[in-house]
C-alpha cells in the first residue's frame, strides 16, 4: 500500500512540473505481467517519457497451525521513451526503448524463492484517440531478459541458484487519460 501511495504522489508531483506539457495516466493489461499503471510525460513535441508500475500483487494464505503459511509478493517497474509518428487525425504510431525490472518472493512451509528479473526491449504500438482526453492503444514489445532465481528448501539446507538469459515478446493493451485539456485555437 505504501508503494501505491508513493507512486500516486510521484505522478502528482510530476504533473505539477508539467504546466504546458501533456501528462497521461492509464491502466494497462500486459500478457506477461497482468495489470499495470502507466504514466506518460511529454518531453518534446512527439517525444514522451513513460513509467509503468506493475500493480503489486501480494497473496497470503493460512491453514491451521504455524507451519501452513503461504505468501507471495511481486512488484515491477518499467521506464522507457516513446517517439510518436502521427498517421491520421485520430491514429498515431509510436516506438521506443524500454527497460524493465521485477522482484518476486514466494514462501511456503517448506519452500522459499526469490526472483530478480531485468530486461531491455523495444516497443511498437498504435494509439487511437477517442477524444482530447481519452486514448486507446495496443503495443508489442520484443525484449532480451535476465532472470536470477534462488530457491531454498527450509530445514534441508538445500539452496539452488539459477540464472538465464532469454528473448521474448508480449502484447499490451490499455487506455490513457490526458490530464490537461488541449486548448483549441479559434479560427476567425
In a domain, 15, yes or no: no
CA 162 – CA 115 distance, rounded (Å): 9
Write down the pLDDT at residue 55: 81
The mean pLDDT value for 64-71 works out to 68
CA 172 – CA 74 distance, rounded (Å): 19
pLDDT (tens digit per residue) in 82-91: 999 999 999 9
Residue 67's domain spans which residues? 2-7+25-178
In a domain, 100, yes or no: yes
What are the cell numbers at 143?
Answer: 525484449
CA 150 – CA 82 distance, rounded (Å): 34
Q: Is 110 left (phi over 0), alpha (psi -120 to 50) or beta?
A: alpha
In a domain, 165, yes or no: yes
Tally the domains of the chain.
Answer: 1
pLDDT (tens digit per residue) in 13-67: 555 454 468 899 999 998 888 899 999 999 999 999 999 998 877 776 666 665 6
In a domain, 58, yes or no: yes
In a domain, 167, yes or no: yes
Residue tagged 515478446 (cell numbers): 169
| Alpha carbon 167 to its chain's center | 18
Q: Which helix (H) or strand (E) holds 6?
A: helix 2-17
In a domain, 85, yes or no: yes
Q: What is the CATH number of the domain that holds 71?
A: 2.40.160.20
- Cα dihedral across residues 88, 51, 21, 183: positive or negative: positive
CA 75 – CA 58 distance, rounded (Å): 9
In a domain, 138, yes or no: yes
Q: How far apart are the first and last CA of the chain?
A: 52
CA 176 – CA 51 distance, rounded (Å): 13
Write down the pLDDT at residue 21: 82
In a domain, 31, yes or no: yes
Amino acid at each position: 500500500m505504501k508503494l501505491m501511495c508513493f507512486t500516486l504522489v510521484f505522478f502528482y508531483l510530476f504533473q505539477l512540473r508539467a504546466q504546458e506539457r501533456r501528462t497521461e495516466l492509464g491502466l494497462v493489461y500486459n500478457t506477461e505481467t497482468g495489470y499495470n499503471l502507466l504514466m506518460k510525460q511529454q518531453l518534446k513535441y512527439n517525444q514522451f517519457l513513460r513509467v509503468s508500475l506493475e500493480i503489486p500483487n501480494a497473496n497470503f494464505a493460512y491453514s491451521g497451525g504455524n507451519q501452513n503459511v503461504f505468501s507471495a509478493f511481486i512488484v515491477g517497474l518499467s521506464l522507457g521513451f516513446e517517439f510518436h509518428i502521427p498517421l491520421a487525425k485520430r491514429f498515431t504510431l509510436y516506438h521506443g526503448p524500454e527497460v524493465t525490472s521485477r522482484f518476486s518472493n514466494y514462501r511456503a512451509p517448506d519452500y522459499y524463492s526469490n526472483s530478480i528479473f531485468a530486461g531491455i526491449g523495444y516497443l511498437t504500438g498504435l494509439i487511437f484517440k477517442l477524444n482530447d482526453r481519452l486514448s486507446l492503444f495496443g503495443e508489442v514489445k520484443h525484449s532480451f531478459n535476465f532472470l536470477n532465481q534462488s530457491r531454498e528448501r527450509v530445514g534441508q539446507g538445500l539452496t539452488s541458484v539459477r540464472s538465464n538469459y532469454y528473448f521474448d515478446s508480449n502484447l499490451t493493451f490499455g487506455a490513457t487519460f490526458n490530464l490537461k485539456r488541449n486548448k483549441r485555437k479559434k479560427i476567425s
